[in-house]
Structure 1
Amino acid sequence: MTQLILVVDELSAWEPYFPSENLVDFESYLKQAPAKNAPRTRVINLCKTGKYLSNGYYCSLLAEARGQNVIPSVSTLNNLRNKGLFAFGFDGVSEALDQWLASGEPVKQLKIKSYFGHCQVPGLGNLCRELFERLPCPIMELGFKKRTHWELTGLATLAPRDLVGEEEDQFANALEAYSRIIWRKPKSVKRYRYDLAMLVNPEEALPPSDPKALKRFVKAGERAGVNVEMITRKDYQRLAEYDGLFIRETTAIDHHTFRFAQKAEHEGLVVIDSPTSILRCANKIFLAESFAKHGVPTPKTLMVNPKQKDAADWLERELGYPLVLKIPDGAFSRGVYKVADRAALVDTLGKLRNASALVLAQEYFFTEFDWRIGVLNHQPIFACKYFMVKGHWQIYRHNGNGREADSGGFVTLPTFEAPKAVINAALKAVRPIGDGLYGVDIKEGKGRVAVIEVNDNPNIDHGVEDLFLKDRLYDMVIEDFVRRLEAD
């Protein structure tokens, strides 16, 4: 059972709102003795937190010391004192404010309040939600200035006592929705040993697992006594309710999937994929250096600054044609260019000048298929051959609309039928990455094997990767979560 506590500086600050049995003042919270076997506790710190070493600061500090989940966290409060934090941009902010203010007097400065990631300004919903995901605070005041365009220039935390009139109603409604949906999770009818959150995106065009595979993970959880619950981006604040996080959405660094992994790890959850795995696998430059250091067989690989004046000459001399250029963080064959001659090389380098400070260049190693070896905790669990799209040199061919892609055929084999050199190369490639779930892409031909990359959340689709092991593949993944949970 989860316990919820609302902490205010003084009980009088709560007079405009309905009484709550969960409410305590700071002095009472300070005197609460930590219990060894206390239920899991969530704290919403509604004290004034704007000053360092204030009641609000100590409320969050005490909550963390007591092993309670609290918003705002001490880390969030410290980040809010960093004025450089607001330098990042948000798409659509200036347009939304211009439209909202169009019918009124022109202004150059503006302050808007956000309650648990919700605000009353049309068009700023995404901004408020993203800020709440990055810096979870019950009440925030957003400061904007208009220079050439509107910019976010400040963030401040507020307490319920700072609100008046309609603001009190807006806060109360947001708190009610937040506490009902986020904190008070209904009990499962069946009792499970563990709760596992599985992050998915129903709108993703090329997800790591299709709906049929996701259902099989849920069934595998039931067999292992694990409650596997599918969650989405909007459930960020619910993570502390779970014992583990399994990410089944395509990951990236500047993305909510990475923030989910970071938060889950911070809360002590077992996480696949861990933030470290995402960081290491998401960038092909890191992988290239790691492969070189640990003697992993790869195609001949060079790193180049696309702005370098003699880049084309150097690549032409070292690799010849055709060659392959890759942006560091591409996925599903995106950001990968086959270059057949000097003109194409110069043109592609020009296109990539502003995409990344470094670009990966590799010899072109043609094969009719790529091996994908699934590895979990340093053990191979599936082996697939992914064939190239007919008339194309990659296993995916994107159609330009961002949502559709052609793919080649596949053959799924038991791992013991895959060439030993391929399996060994896969295990060698993941060793410096971590002990999570990975998919290693490998080319085999002309008497050699070459690792292309390691994927931190490999595809597990029904009827493809599970074709040989069937439900046993899903059981293996869930059982590994159980092993990690019981080892903690």
Structure 2
Amino acid sequence: MSQAIILVDDPADWAAYYPARHLLSAKDYLQAQQPVCTDKKVQVINLCRSYKYLSPGYYCSLLAEARGQRVLPSVRTVNDLSRKALYGLHFGQFEAALDKAMKHKGGSNDHFSLLLFFGHTEQEGLIDLGRQIFDQLPCPLLKVDFRRREHWGIEALKPLTLKQLQGAQEDAFARALEQFNARVWRNPRRRRSDRYELAMLVNEEEVLPPSNKMALKRFVRAGRQLGIKVDLIGRDAYTRLGEYDGLFIRETTALDHHTYQFARKAEQEGMVVMDDPGSILRCTNKIYLAELMQANNVPVPPTAFVFSDDDAQIDSLIAELNLPMVLKIPDGSFSRGISKVATREALTEALRGYLKQSSVVLAQAFMYTDYDWRIGVLNHRPLFACQYFMSKGHWQIYHHQSSGKTASGNSRTLPVQEVPPKVLKAALKAAKLMGNGLYGVDLKQSGEEVVVIEVNDNPNIDAGVEDAWLGEDLYRQVMLEFLRRLEAKRIGLPM
């Protein structure tokens, strides 16, 4: 096996196995106390006891990806395994193979469980099936529960921990680990279509949608002019999503949300999709973003990851970042889940609350500016440039008031060519790390200092704001990119 980092919550979990040169605790890996933690050449095998969202195990996979390392399981796999609606997308094509495998196995039971170690099982007749499951959801230790109704089907998938293995299972896992080699996983078979119909996912009940109603109409009109029929759909259209050639998500995205399910299904169907699920994964977690930016020398505010609210941690934070500072939970949006703290007492109280929601909190030095830059980037090219001014009497663009109302500051849209080169360069570099989709890069500028605050996979495009300079051409450029990708897909070229 190639050089690997094996991550566990407690090294004692590894007691039943042979010594590992690069066995690390999750804590040591997260805090990057050894050079191997950031070596891009190694394979990370995450054997933490839990991959639950925002747990240490989850963050190990998240930060491994941010550091450019190959990790098993990936954050995408972890997220897919957490919801049956997501992992169910992977296995519709295996129903016939599953029936055949179970007939070969024989027996009259209607329930059956299979343990897979890196996709390997020694049970005769089920070896190929185990490999196919691992091919779709690569996870080191996986329990698969099958149930027979009219046909055999996968009822549940659950990651296992080392502590759950006993005797012969421990030996089987050790053998599978020795045999494991990094593979290039095949992409799901993509369907082809000659029709250009685009589904645009919206939520009419959303308070702060990424596009207002007039902007949605302009997207529809721009698509029609290019021969793309754009249909507005809601979450109830999930089962018929495959009827379309592409998906454009104009609803605020999140991992534990139907928007991510739509993106995953669209990808599985071979559709052109923005936001693609990879971009959603990379952009919706501020911890991942901060690590990725720093690892690639993108300027960000002085940043620290916080794991506890004890006195030593508080002292260290104040010494490193000074007061006031900003605290962020990983997946907040529209200025939610963000606090500015100006005293030690406020810092302690805020951390105590945030650490109940997430095992890691992001702390950054406070940098006041009258406005934030937002650079819209589409396929590595700047699309629009805005200055968002702070809400009156508040330090953020959005001010969520105790009454339940939300106030926001003014904005100014200007030609991309008038953006300071330093701002544009940082924005394009940050967006490139996310992928080739549609992004909104938020930056602050103070004199000659420019820092990236975050990258949004689902940037606001509102009529009267982001389109104030380009007008209808902004929507046309987005639809032209869809058209380019649809044509590339039709003739088999990379998108």
Identify the TM-score tier after normalising by the shorter chain.
0.5 to 0.7
Matches within 5 A, 1:384-423: 384-400=386-402, 404-423=405-424
1:417 Cα shift? Answer: 1.0
Instruction: Give the corresponding residue for 2:101.
Output: 53
Larger Rg: 1
Q: Secondary structure at the residue paired with 1:440?
A: strand
**3-state DSSP of counterpart to 1:234:** helix
Q: 1:54 and 1:223 mapped to 2: Cα distance? A: 52
Cα distance, 1:53 vs structure 2:
3.1
Question: Helix, strand or coil: the match of 2:392?
Answer: coil
1:42-441 pair list within 5 angstroms: 51=99, 53=101, 193-308=195-310, 310-400=312-402, 404-441=405-442
Q: Distance in 1 between matches of 2:330 and 2:155?
A: 34
Confirm or deny: 8 A CA contact 2:388 2:410 kept in the other structure: yes
Q: What residue in structure 2 maps to residue 116 of structure 1?
A: none
User: How many residues get paired?
Assistant: 333
Code of the residue aligned with 1:435 in structure 2: it is: N
SS at match of 2:434: coil
User: Does the CA contact (< 8 Å) of 1:438 and 1:454 recur in 2?
Assistant: yes
Task: Show CA shifts across 1:375-425 (max 9, x none).
Answer: 0000001000000011000000112466x3100000010111111111111
How big is the alpha-carbon RMSD for the aligned residues of Structure 1 and Structure 2? 3.3
CA distance in 2, matches of 1:319, 1:287: 19
Partners of 1:48 and 1:54 within 8 A in 2: no
Q: Is the 8 A contact 1:306 1:352 kept in 2?
A: no
Q: Deviations over 1:441-480 (max 9, x none)?
A: 0001132111100000100000000011010000000000
Post-superposition offset of 1:75: 6.9
- Kept in 1, the 8 Å contact 2:102–2:152? The answer is no
Alpha-carbon distance in 2 for matches of 1:387, 1:321: 23
Structure 1 Cα separation of the partners of residues 145 and 396 of structure 2: 41
Amino acid at match of 1:197: A
CA distance in 2, matches of 1:251, 1:467: 25
DSSP 3-state at the match of 1:337: strand
Q: Distance in 1 between matches of 2:365 and 2:282?
A: 22
> 1:211, 1:264 → 2: CA distance?
24
Please state whether the residue corresponding to 1:268 is helix, strand or coil.
coil
Distance 1:367 1:264, change over 3 A: same
SS of residue in 1 equivalent to 2:467 = coil
Q: 1:246 to 1:313 in 2, by over 3 A?
A: same
Measured in 2, the distance between the counterparts of 1:394 and 1:85 equals 48
1-structure distance, mates of 2:205, 2:308:
34
Please name the residue that 2:457 is paired with. Answer: 456
Q: Letter of the aligned partner of 1:258 in structure 2?
A: Y
Identity %: 54
Distance in 2 separating the partners of 1:347 and 1:385: 33
Three-state SS of the structure 2 residue aligned to 1:212 is helix
3-state SS, counterpart of residue 431 of structure 1:
helix
- Separation in 1, partners of 2:252, 2:152: 31
Cα distance, 1:290 vs. partner?
Answer: 1.1
Q: Distance in 2 between matches of 1:285 and 1:205?
A: 26
Q: Secondary structure at the match of 2:478?
A: helix
SS of 2:458's partner is coil
Structure 2 length-normalised TM: 0.62
Q: Measure the CA separation in 2 of the matches of 1:50 and 1:84.
A: 12
Q: 1:193·1:225 contact (CA, 8 Å) conserved in 2?
A: no
Q: Match for residue 160 of structure 1?
A: none
Unmatched 5+ stretches in structure 1: 1-43, 56-73, 87-112, 114-136, 144-191
